[in-house]
Amino acid sequence: MKLLLCDMADEVTRLHHALFALDPLAEFEVTTDAERVIELAAGLQPDVVVTELGLEGFRDADLVRRLHDAAPLAAIVGWTRLRDPGRIARVFAAGASGYLLKEDGVEEAARAVFAAAGGTVVLSRSGAALLGGELTGSLARVLELEQEVADVRKQMEDGTAAKADFLANVSHELRTPVTVAKGIAYVLRNPALAEQERAEFIEQLQTSLDKLVSMVDEIIEIAELEQGTFQLNIEYTDLSPLIAEAVAEVEAKYPAVPVNARIPGPIFALADGPRIHGVILELLDNGCRYSPEGSTVDIRARVMDEGIVISVMDHGVGMDREVAWRSFEQPFSTGEATLRKEKAGAGVGLHLSRQLIVRHGGILWTDPVPAGGTRVSFCLPSRAGARFVAPPGAA
């Protein structure tokens, strides 16, 4: 058997001695030059070429390919200190018959060289462990990626279904005010209509149009949030009058559901006033909408170390945590089947409210109440960094 060895002089000596001990009749040719080993391989056509893969000149996979071209029938074995699973893969892909790490000992390498001469693909223990660890990690990463892809697919499917539900929901919600507006417009064409009736119809028309505008505004804000073009005008703002105004609006809209407000005087927070007023109004409106007549809705404002906390609690049937999560996370979820909806709403309010609070640097959460009902709370920062600078006239 003819063997061609290429490595540093001391390494060649060690390997030659171990190979000779296993087969004293084997023919050996040695070199320390990567260029020279290719010439020798072409001339000798050895049974096995054993080479260090980190010599100057041709390296790892490139060297293996050149040797394979020079001696197509030779088994090419890398004997190296290079611990690199990527290199192992490249060397085998280039046509090598073995990858041996010197740390496993010269005797094991010698036995592996003779096994390669017999047509066996060889890999030393440390090389196998290194490659096995890399494969295990790669397989684990593949499984993680597959799970991530499945999660993304599920989110896309949920998003598509939610948007389809939203379109059906919006058509359901728009139908009533549009129908009312069309009917009123037809009635107003009658010149004989009494002035008092005309004024009443115009007020109803205004209410319907206000509802339509409100729905469109919410949808536009959701689109701006998703596109990253939404902007806030944040400044130190007294939340007390915003709460009082929202309470007055919902009391006028739901006279059968009293609202109990506990507001401890002026409360300053870092906020975009009109946006936070909209959030408070949304939470109060939801609480009143889902409360039976005669029950109350409570709103409470507290100054805490974490910031300003505002909570709205109703005493209705309560909102399931899963439904609440969908309402917060998905912009088109109402928690009710469109065809059997009993309450009005396009399904963007809670999601938009949460997004607005998050954009303020706050948080919004919900808690089911054991005795029945739902409490929705949010917290806004009341100070910039580590210190609070009160605006002029603040108490």
- List strand residue ranges (DSSP E) for 7-131, in order: 27-31, 48-51, 75-80, 98-101, 122-123
Percent of residues, the chain, with pLDDT higher than 70? 81
What is the predicted pLDDT for the residue at 390? 39
pTM value is 0.46
Q: Which of 82-86, 118-122, 373-377 has the highest average model confidence (pLDDT)?
A: 118-122
- For 235-380, CATH number out of 3.40.228.10, 3.30.565.10, 3.90.1150.10, 3.40.50.1980 equals 3.30.565.10
CA dist., res. 362 & res. 53, Å (int): 58
Q: Are 73 and 46 spatial neighbours (Cβ–Cβ below 8 Å)?
A: no
* Phi, psi (degrees; rounded to nearest 5) at 212: -60, -45
pLDDT at residue 386, as a whole number: 32
Q: Is the pLDDT of residue 334 over 50?
A: no
pLDDT tens, residue by residue, 235-292: 889 999 999 999 999 999 899 999 999 988 888 998 989 889 989 998 998 889 888 8
Q: Which residue has the tokens 């799970």?
A: 147
- Backbone angles phi and psi of 309, in degrees to 5: -110, 125
Task: For 193-231, write each residue's pLDDT tens digit.
Answer: 888 888 888 888 887 787 777 777 766 766 776 666 777
Instruction: Give residue 188's pLDDT band: very low, low, confident or very high (50, 70, 90).
Output: confident
| Percent of residues, the chain, with pLDDT higher than 90 | 36
Confidence of residue 101 (pLDDT cuts 50, 70, 90): very high
Whether the CB-CB separation of 257 and 288 falls below 8 Å is answered with yes
Indicate the domain borders of the chain: 2-123, 134-227, 235-380
User: Angle CA(318)–CA(321)–CA(322) in degrees, nearest 5?
Assistant: 120
CATH code 1.10.287.130 for 134-227: yes
Residue 106: closest CA among 14, 201, 221: 14
The CATH number that domain 2-123 falls under is 3.40.50.2300
Quote the pLDDT of residue 234: 87
Tokens, residue 297? 């809705």
- Over the stretch 35-83, which tens digit does the pLDDT of each residue have? 889 999 999 999 999 999 887 777 788 999 999 999 999 999 999 988 8
User: pLDDT tier at 312 (50, 70, 90 boundaries)?
Assistant: very high
Alpha-carbon separation of residue 109 from 239, 358, 392 (angstroms): 79, 62, 83
- What are the helix and strand counts (H, E) for the chain? 11, 13
User: Torsion angle, CA of 83/88/94/97, rounded to 10 degrees?
Assistant: 100
